[in-house]
Amino acid sequence: MTFTHQCLLFAHEHRFRAVAGGRLQDAVTSGRPAVLAVAPHRSARLLAALTPQVAREVRVLDRDTLYDAPGRMLAALHRIVLAHAPERVTVVVEPPPERGPDPAAREWRRLEAVLATALDGSALDLLCVHDTCALTPAARTTVHTTHPVLIGAGGPRVNHAYLGPGAHGARSRAPAPLPLTGPVHRVEIGQSLPRLRRELTALGTSLELDTLRVDGLVVAVNELAANVLEHGAGKGNISLWRSHDRWVCEVFDEAGLLTDPLAGYRPVDGVRSRGYGLWITRQTCDFLEICGNSGGTLVRVHFLDRSAEPEPSTRDTRLSR
């Protein structure tokens, strides 16, 4: 089985409907599953242009739910493939045009770039569609560098601008500074993971985090701490603080052996003992950054608070490693 990752850049709706509609119709008439996750207005018009028999067979997903977080989106694509195995699945998606500053923009770029290896061997044909009117020059460059195949007037063609996962896999020495809106809470990583989980639960509860947020924090940090104990220096520390629109947690390992910022995306991470914790953590948090050098590895995880107000423009209290 071969995974295909193609991109359609369109300036007119009729071009989108012709290509995306054709893909969905070909899948349905061939008896194969078809999935659609694009902007609501575009989805409605596309389905209306299909025959009722075809439209009824297309599974429509909410785009914002699918593009909730990079790790969760990748897991969702895996679940779609598994749910229809051994049938080949056609999926048409429209990535949201704006994803915020780094680390959000960077991690979404990395996900697009790593899909070729993360979904290698999957019976999945993924078509990403982009309205060129909504793309900034930087976003358009990203599209070109992260998709191996483009849909041109004559059909699919090799994209020579595609750079592959390696182009987006450089590890930063430190994460970007973030604004602080409260104290930094610190916990040491000892030899007892059950004790660590109890301490994190108590800390989350004392900070009045909701139950789901506490559970997510405990699961994510437990997996990262297990990596420190099993594959790192055997000791480390955890820092937790509130930023303007998120809770941020950092796990530091002085061994510095975790060097791949794409760890937790690739398929091997889900089946081998090393890296499995990162696969889980990427699905539990919203964004995960892997930074550092020979002096240590810092993993920063972000838990977004989507009900928070936009970041104040005059904030100068920041935490940087």
DSSP symbol at 163: -
Q: Is residue 172 part of a domain?
A: no
SS3 state at 115: helix
Asked if pLDDT for residue 56 goes beyond 90, the answer is yes
Tokens of residue 233, six digits: 């220096």
Give the integer Cα–Cα distance in Å for 311 and 313: 6
Q: Are residues 151 and 16 in the same domain?
A: yes
CATH number for the domain harbouring residue 77: 3.40.50.300
At CA 157, angle to CA 264 and CA 155, rounded to 5? 115
DSSP string covering 178-216: EE-SSPPEEEEE-S-HHHHHHHHHHHHHHTT--HHHHHH
Of 5-9, 64-68, 144-148, 267-271, which range is least confident?
267-271
Pick the last residue of a domain from 145, 167, 189: 167
| Helix, coil or strand: residue 310 | coil
> In this predicted structure, what is the pLDDT of residue 267?
55
Percent of the chain residues topping a pLDDT of 70: 92
Q: Are residues 162 and 258 in the same domain?
A: no
Query: What's the rounded mean pLDDT across residues 76-80?
Result: 96
SS3 (DSSP) at 176: coil
Q: Is the pLDDT of residue 63 over 50?
A: yes
Q: Report the predicted TM-score, pTM, of the whole model to 2 decimal places.
A: 0.90
**Number of domains comprising the chain:** 2
Stated length of the chain: 321
| Same domain flag for 248 and 271 | yes
Pick the closest to residue 141 from 132, 129, 154 (CA basis): 132
In a domain, 102, yes or no: yes
Co-location of 260 and 116 in the same domain: no
Instruction: Say yes or no: 11 and 104 in one domain.
Output: yes
CATH number at residue 187: 3.30.565.10
Domain boundary among 167, 195, 230: 167
For strand 287-293 and strand 296-304, is the pairing parallel, antiparallel, or unpaired? antiparallel
> Domain check: are 69 and 33 in the same one?
yes
Calculate Rg over the CA atoms of the chain.
21
Q: Is 63 within the bounds of a domain?
A: yes
Q: Are residues 185 and 135 in the same domain?
A: no
Give the range of the structural domain holding residue 159, as residue numbers without chain letter. 4-167
Indicate the average pLDDT of the chain. 90
Q: What is the pLDDT of residues 150-204, one digit of tens each?
A: 999 999 999 999 998 888 888 899 998 999 999 999 999 988 999 999 999 999 9
196 and 151 co-located in one domain: no
* Shared-domain flag, residues 229 and 269: yes
d(CA 124, CA 116) in angstroms, rounded, equals 11
Cβ distance 247 to 215 under 8 Å?
no
The first and second tokens of residue 262, run together, are 């794409």
